[in-house]
Structure 1
């Protein structure tokens, strides 16, 4: 009777459950069989638990329903890799000691996460188009001025070779600059998923090249206390997206301030045995203390609905934690907000 009740109790949960003794699977519930795509308990009971549960090379943890779980991978019957979270409890029945393993399938959650990431990248694309407009406005105006000058001279039949050569050379220079700008932004949107050996200070420099015109147009000064950092393996484009998002947040925060003092964004770097860090600070008034702990939550935005999706900083957190072995934090300091990005080695 007790055994039947115990079986019904195990099978009533939506979580997958394994009972493990001395490393071998003693019992499994129906939810876990469905996750692993097995038909019968007998196909699993008696096998080593490590044949099904694959821990990550680096331990990762996830908050889920106010509980902390470790992220792992599962191997299904058809050898598919399934993302999951796991929590283990010690269990003693009479004189026997067991491990009670609770498992939650993350497949659907990961799909939603990828959709959010794509939505975030689309929002970033809008920002990029705006930045291209800023980058191109001046060279286009210069090209227009040069061509008008040449047309004027043609109408007057003044064909000075040196003047024409100089104007055409200037036009070529402006076109080369515009072409380089397009290459920079095109590289940002490449769906490259391999880690690259990059220097974090170079990634910051790349992002500054993309946003400098927008900063100039908003009278924002950049103080880049650049330190040459050793190169590390990480996802460059994802990290670039995070840094650009923080810069854009500073730019938007400055727009809401009256310029009573110089607008400044300061960038500092640090290299330790465990991690490298980038700290981006502004003097745009900071973040209200009552909301500072919420800004990395999904769909939470300090901007109005027209200008904010509430996904930017949330996706920064997801990108750093899930893809770049990093983390992000924020604090108020010196009449502004300071964002700190850590990438662990």
Structure 2
């Protein structure tokens, strides 16, 4: 009777369970079969557990309800690799040592996380389009003025070659600027397929170019303290760019809400350490209220109205840095403003 109760419990848990002896699979439950897409236990019993459990190159730990789980990958019968977390318990029976491995499939969670990142990116699109419109406004106006001037000279039969060349050079320069601008924004919305060797300075510069006209319009100056020479590292360029844009956008909104004048400034600092690189972004927009300081990375938490904020920007920034860069992001109030410190593993 007790054996039947145990078998029923063993085969009807939500999580997958493996029982391992000396590295070989001794038994497994139905949930484990479903996760791995096998038809019967006999296909796996007697095989090495390392044939289906693939540890990550760097050990990743996840804490939930005061219990520590380790992130790994699972290899299914179809050869598909899926993300999971495991918890291992040792036990002894009849003087034999066994390991019980409890496994949670993270596929659905990872998919939802990916969708949230995409939702956050799309939420930023409105802001990006507004920036493009503002950055194009002046060159379009200048192109229109140059064309009108040339038409007037043609009508007046005034064909000064040097003036025509200068006006055409100006138009070419404006069009080149507009082309570069749209390429920067278009690249931002491309999904990162793999890490690329790049430099944090380069990515921050792209973000600053995107904000150049907006910052100038609102009297926000940039203090770039690039005293340290940073090494090139492999990273997801667009994801890091998304994080930088989120933080710069938050600072910009803080200035607009609090109407801080006339010396609005954002300061950028960089640090090169043995295993990590750091970007420190601070402003003098008055800081973040103490009662919400520990909530700003929570999902859907926003101090902005519904029209201007989704509450996903900083949450997804934290997710991206922690999950995709093995790093950390933290915020604090310093002097007369907020300070974001991003740490990226090399």
Report the TM range for the smaller structure's normalisation: over 0.9
Contact 2:229/2:272 (<8 A) preserved: no
Question: Secondary structure at 1:300's aligned position in 2?
Answer: coil
- Separation (CA, whole Å) in 2 of partners of 1:156 and 1:285: 57
Question: Secondary structure at 1:210's aligned position in 2?
Answer: helix
Q: TM-score, normalised by structure 1?
A: 0.93
Q: Deviations over 1:199-220 (max 9, x none)?
A: 1112111211121111111111
Q: TM-score, normalised by structure 2?
A: 0.93
- Separation (CA, whole Å) in 1 of partners of 2:331 and 2:134: 29
- Paired residues for 1:18-33 under 5 Å: 18-33=18-33
- Separation (CA, whole Å) in 2 of partners of 1:212 and 1:178: 13
Q: Deviations over 1:153-183 (max 9, x none)?
A: 4444444333333222212211111111122
- Separation (CA, whole Å) in 1 of partners of 2:66 and 2:136: 48
Please identify, of 31-40 and 216-225, the stretch whose mean Cα deviation from structure 2 is larger. 31-40
- Paired residues for 1:194-233 under 5 Å: 194-226=194-226, 227-233=228-234
Contact 2:260/2:285 (<8 A) preserved: no
Q: Please name the residue that 1:62 is paired with.
A: 62
Question: Secondary structure at 2:267's aligned position in 1?
Answer: strand
Q: Is the counterpart of residue 92 in structure 1 residue 92 in structure 2?
A: yes
Deviation at 1:152? Answer: 3.8
Q: Please name the residue that 1:277 is paired with.
A: 278
Q: Please name the residue that 1:171 is paired with.
A: 171
Cα 1:231–1:306 shift into 2, 3 Å: same
Q: Please name the residue that 1:15 is paired with.
A: 15
- Separation (CA, whole Å) in 2 of partners of 1:172 and 1:53: 58
- Separation (CA, whole Å) in 2 of partners of 1:287 and 1:91: 50
Q: Please name the residue that 1:328 is paired with.
A: 329
- Paired residues for 1:30-179 under 5 Å: 30-64=30-64, 67-93=67-93, 95-179=95-179
Q: Deviations over 1:20-74 (max 9, x none)?
A: 2222222212211211122222222222211111110011223446643211111
Cα 1:260–1:183 shift into 2, 3 Å: closer
- Separation (CA, whole Å) in 2 of partners of 1:238 and 1:184: 14
Contact 2:61/2:71 (<8 A) preserved: yes
Cα 1:75–1:336 shift into 2, 3 Å: same
Question: Secondary structure at 1:69's aligned position in 2?
Answer: strand
Deviation at 1:14? Answer: 0.8
Q: Please name the residue that 2:309 is paired with.
A: 308
Structure 1 vs Structure 2 CA RMSD: 1.9
The total of aligned residue pairs comes to: 345
Contact 2:192/2:239 (<8 A) preserved: no
Please identify, of 61-70 and 203-212, the stretch whose mean Cα deviation from structure 2 is larger. 61-70
Q: Deviations over 1:71-102 (max 9, x none)?
A: 11111122221211111223334533322211
Question: Secondary structure at 1:205's aligned position in 2?
Answer: helix
Question: Secondary structure at 2:70's aligned position in 1?
Answer: strand
Contact 2:82/2:107 (<8 A) preserved: yes
- Separation (CA, whole Å) in 2 of partners of 1:135 and 1:66: 50
Q: Is the counterpart of residue 189 in structure 1 residue 182 in structure 2?
A: no
Please identify, of 39-48 and 78-87, the stretch whose mean Cα deviation from structure 2 is larger. 39-48
- Separation (CA, whole Å) in 1 of partners of 2:96 and 2:299: 45
Q: Please name the residue that 2:344 is paired with.
A: 343
Deviation at 1:310? Answer: 1.4
Deviation at 1:291? Answer: 2.0
Gaps of at least 5 residues in structure 2 are none
- Separation (CA, whole Å) in 2 of partners of 1:306 and 1:246: 18
